[in-house]
Amino acid sequence: MIEQQPDNTLVFEQLWSITEELRQKIEARFELHPEPTTQDVQKFSSPDGNVKGSLNAFSGREIDWLVHSWLKKSNFSTMRLTAWLGSHIQVPHFAVELGTVGNIFFYMDYVPRTDLVTDLEYLDRYYEPVNQTFLTLQADSRLSSFTSKSLYIRLFQSPINLCCTCSDTEDTLELIRKLAHEMLDRWLSWIEEAEPVPEDARAALAKRDLFLRRTSAERDPGNQLAAQMFGAELTDKLVRALWGGDRTPTAKG
């Protein structure tokens, strides 16, 4: 067992380092630019100073919106790295969320960009390759499956979403690191192999992507807790930063 500090700082730093490794891989592949409309939330805190956080957003020619963020208080932390692709290809979006809520929480997923019930070619191409990993984690005695109480969040998650809690041990942390890199490397390989979306279909895909990104941010069950910690004004600003709500249409990547 890892020697854990009272405020979970050690585990937080190890989980954050995983997201930094992933971001470095993404930055090595894509040209990204900091999003100026989110500069005022690059560092934020609660009025009493007990909860601190950071949110950085980026965009580019191939990635429409990327968020790398963290939030931490003494006995709780959460962090995310989400990459929403442009409409030039239809590869799923990439999402990783890690945190500590007593135990470690992790969520890794490919966000679908079509109806998986009817688009069987898309299902087989992007989700069948991860099905065995999903089933293996379900059978792993070190892990407990996590099911959101939110109906919308359960709908938002794909059928192969890797969403579990576990104790903070050396082997579970290494498992999380391994899974995260596997998910990202697979996603990057899909991007290299992707066929371009026809020009006349891109506007509809971009509209669907934006709707999904906004709705998932606004319906996040954690927003209620955030409002209690930060107040409604800052919480609204953070939620808008998650989906790019303050960005002008001409600024989109």
Separation of alpha carbons 23 and 67, rounded Å: 10
- pTM of this prediction exceeds 0.85: yes
Instruction: Return the half-sphere exposure (C-beta side, CA atoms, 13 A cut-off) of residue 106.
Output: 26
With respect to residue 124, please indicate whether it lies within any of the assigned structural domains: yes
> pLDDT per residue over 179-197, tens digit each?
999 999 999 999 999 999 9
Query: Is residue 4 included in any domain, yes or no?
Result: no
Total tally of structural domains belonging to the chain: 1
Largest CA distance in the chain: 56
CATH assignment of the domain containing 211: 3.40.1500.20
The 10s digit of each residue's pLDDT in 36-50 is 999 999 999 999 999
Helix (H, G, I), strand (E, B) or coil at 38: helix
Residue-wise burial string across 68-98, b where 16 or more C-beta atoms lie within 10 A, e elsewhere: bbbbbbeebbbbbbbbbbbbbbbbbbbbbbb
Residue 101: inside a domain: yes
pLDDT digits (tens, 9 = 90+) for 70-114: 999 988 899 999 999 999 999 999 999 999 988 999 999 999 999
In the prediction, which pLDDT does 101 show? 85
The residue type at 41: V
User: Which domain covers residue 116, as residue numbers?
Assistant: 9-251
Higher-pLDDT residue of 251 and 234 is: 234
Q: Is the pLDDT of residue 252 over 80?
A: no
The answer as to whether 2 is a domain residue is no
